[in-house]
Amino acid sequence: NASLKGRSFLAEKDFTEEEMLYFLDLAADLKAKKNSGIPHRYLEGKNIALLFEKTSTRTRCAFTVACTDLGAHPEYLGKGDIQLGKKESVEDTAKVLGRMFDGIEFRGFSHKTVESLAEHSGVPVWNGLTDLWHPTQTLADLLTIKEHVGHLKDVKLVYVGDGRNNVANSLLVGGSIAGMEVRICAPASLWPAQEVVDTAKKYSDRIMITSSVEEAVAGADVIYTDVWVSMGEEDKFAERIELLSPYQVNMQMIKATGNDNVIFLHCLPAFHDLETAYGREMHEKHGLKEMEVTDEVFLSKHSKVFDQAENRMHTIKAVIAATLGNME
Q: Does 303 bind ligand CP (CB under 6 A)?
A: no
Q: Does 313 bind ligand CP (CB under 6 A)?
A: no
Question: Is 217 within 8 Å of 246 (Cβ atoms)?
Answer: no
Segment near ligand NVA (CB under 6 A), from 19-27, 43-51, 66-74, 159-167?
159-167
The residue count for binding ligand CP (CB under 6 A) is: 9
CB of 198 to ligand NVA, least distance (A): 21
Q: Which of 223, 163, 215 is nearest to 187 (CA)?
A: 163
CB of 264 to ligand NVA, least distance (A): 16
Q: Which of residues 127-146 bind ligand CP (CB under 6 A)?
A: 129, 137
Q: Is the dihedral of CA 60, 63, 68, 69 positive or negative?
A: positive
Q: At what angle do helices 111-121 and 90-100 cross, to 10 degrees?
A: 50
Using CB under 6 A, which of 58, 111, 146, 183 touches ligand CP? 58
Using CB under 6 A, which of 197, 208, 268, 288 touches ligand CP? 268
Of 118 and 229, nearer to ligand NVA (C-beta) is 229
107 included as an active-site residue = yes
137 included as an active-site residue = yes
267 included as an active-site residue = yes
Question: Is 144 within 8 Å of 265 (Cβ atoms)?
Answer: yes
Q: Does 226 bind ligand NVA (CB under 6 A)?
A: yes
Of 181 and 226, nearer to ligand CP (C-beta) is 226
CB of 129 to ligand NVA, least distance (A): 6
134 included as an active-site residue = yes
226 included as an active-site residue = yes
Q: Does 59 bind ligand CP (CB under 6 A)?
A: yes
Q: Does 144 bind ligand NVA (CB under 6 A)?
A: no
- Residue in 111, 266, 312, 314 annotated catalytic: 312
Work out the angle at residue 304's Cα, subtended by the Cα atoms of residues 298 and 305, and round it to the nearest 5 degrees: 65
CB of 269 to ligand CP, least distance (A): 6
Q: Does 262 bind ligand CP (CB under 6 A)?
A: no
Using CB under 6 A, which of 11, 220, 231, 293 touches ligand NVA? 231
- List residues with catalytic annotation: 107, 134, 137, 226, 267, 312
Give the footprint of ligand CP on this chain (CB under 6 A): 56-59, 129, 137, 267-269
